[in-house]
Homo-oligomer: A and B are copies of this chain.
Amino acid sequence: MTRMHYTRDNMAGLLRSHDINPTHQRIEIAHALFSRQEHLSADQVMAIVNTRHSETSKATVYNTLKLFLEKGLVREVIVDPSKVFFDPNTSPHHHLYEVDSGKLSDIDAEHVQISGLPPLPDNMVTEGIDLIVRVRRKA
């Protein structure tokens, strides 16, 4: 996979390719997530987008992140009871969570094997498997 530049223009294309109407606010929010390639909470996204002067309302940030989620542009990572993180990396991967610092990083799923899971009932489909390794700094 070639390294690409996450310019605002490219964001517009990315949004369109996911069937999302690329408005100014949506482009800024996508840019915040993708240019950093980091896990961000809604709060953090709002702070980034509104650094210079307030441009985007809280409601829009939440609506947009939910929209991105539905359209498969980002993933939701639930590791901290107090806030949800949004992950611009949608390729299969797991997470490493440092409980004291709150730092969250990716674990490539490529070499991780999970076996022995019991079969699901017929009327159920797997939506996703989340593997979270919680670590702590040694005393």
Contact check, A112 vs B115: say whether CB atoms are below 8 A apart.
yes
Q: Which residues of A80-139 are within 8 A (CB) of B? A: 80-81, 83-84, 98-99, 107-108, 111-118, 120, 122-138
**Which B residues are CB-close (under 8 A) to A126?**
133-135
Interface size class of A (residues with CB under 8 A): 35 or more
Complex Cα gap A126–B134 (Å):
6
Contact check, A79 vs B78: say whether CB atoms are below 8 A apart.
yes
Contacts A78-B78, A115-B113; A132 near B130 (Cβ below 8 A): yes
In this complex, what residue of B is CB-closest to A83? B81
With an 8 A cutoff between CB atoms, is A76 at the interface? yes
Residue of A113, A120, A133, A137 with most chain B CB atoms under a 10 A cut-off = A133
Contact check, B131 vs A135: say whether CB atoms are below 8 A apart.
no
Residue of A83, A130, A137 with most chain B CB atoms under a 10 A cut-off = A130
A40: min CB distance to chain B, Å: 15
Question: Which residues of A pack against B, CB within 8 Å?
Answer: 76, 78-81, 83-84, 98-99, 107-108, 111-118, 120, 122-138
Given contacts A111-B116, A115-B115, 17 further A-B contacts (CB under 8 A): A81-B84, A99-B127, A107-B118, A111-B118, A112-B117, A113-B113, A113-B115, A122-B138, A123-B138, A124-B136, A124-B137, A125-B138, A127-B136, A128-B134, A129-B133, A130-B131, A132-B132
